[in-house]
Amino acid sequence: MSSNRIIPDFTEDLVSLMVQMMLTIARFPRAPFALIPLSKKRERYLGADVKIESLAPLYIQFKRSFAYPDSSKAKYLADRKKLGLENSPQVLYFELRNKRTGHSDYQHNILAKLRERLQKRGVGNAVYVAPLFLSRTAYLLSVHYSSLVRWIFWHLFGVDPFPTTSMNVVGPSGSIRFHNIPLLREHIAIPPQGRVSSHKHRYSYLESGGQVCFHSPEQVEGAYTLGQSLYNWMGFREGVPSAKLVDYERSLDLLAELRGEIPTEALRNDKLSIWERWVEFGEQLREEHEIEQYVLVKYSHT
């Protein structure tokens, strides 16, 4: 079955880097909010004079997309046909990761536990994120050619190639329209499905990001492009994200709940600040389970 598998020419680390650039380059221009990565101790995206008021975590497991042509006899294509899902021109997919030596649980279950706890609280989210392309060159060409096509319409008909109604990523009130950011439209965000007792499962989806299937098999609801997923989660009112956040001073209760769900090391230093404890948890998730922690924060300057 592997003979005609289409393998991407980039790594999961590159996927993480590309998305991180888009998430951290955009600030909320008319409100004191930021979405920042928090998985390494050396990361610092807020100044020393900033006072954090509240926060909400977002956990992402980055994946690469693989594919088989629709003529392949790959089992996951047959599974999709049984559910009445499309397979043309090709279907992308990624597989779950096996446990590492010494790990007591699968990465998928850890991501699912994080999501379940956050959903119960109504705060934050946890998702898989995978690109809807298989080649760095093809992706860059797609963005380039789409821009050229827009300029042709401007030349022939005088139509604005980048109308603010569809392309502007910052609204009149200062809200950021993540669903309009091209790179974020080229990735899919999928919520983890239940718990597994084996890593021999996969997710499949069309190149458009539609018709997502988890290979039990069952069709998956609630999967969107990454840009739309972020927009749905945050929401905006007058430029201010409307996602629920937890008070910073009380956020250790949420952190304790999340830590209790995940097999991580005990605190290495019980004198750490609140921020340092969040950083340490993010670092442990990244080192042990390759799950990245982002945090939406509301802050003020002291």
Q: Which helix (H) or strand (E) holds 108?
A: helix 107-121
pTM for the complete prediction? 0.84
pLDDT for 86 beyond 70: yes
DSSP 210: -
Q: Which residues, in sequence order, are bridge partners of residue 54?
A: 247, 298
Per-residue pLDDT tens digits for 163-194 = 544 445 566 666 667 777 777 888 899 999 99
Take residue 100 and report the two structure tokens written for it. 């590492």
Region for 214 from its dihedrals, namely left if φ exceeds 0, alpha if ψ lies in -120 to 50, beta otherwise: beta
Residues 6+ apart with CB under 8 A from 176: 26, 28, 169, 170, 236
Region for 179 from its dihedrals, namely left if φ exceeds 0, alpha if ψ lies in -120 to 50, beta otherwise: alpha
Distance between CA atoms of residues 213 and 202, nearest Å: 8
Per-residue pLDDT tens digits for 238-284 = 667 778 999 999 999 999 999 987 866 666 667 888 988 999 999 99
Question: What residues does each domain of the chain span?
Answer: 12-65+107-186+226-301
**Nearest partner of 211 among 121, 79, 116, judged by Cα:** 79
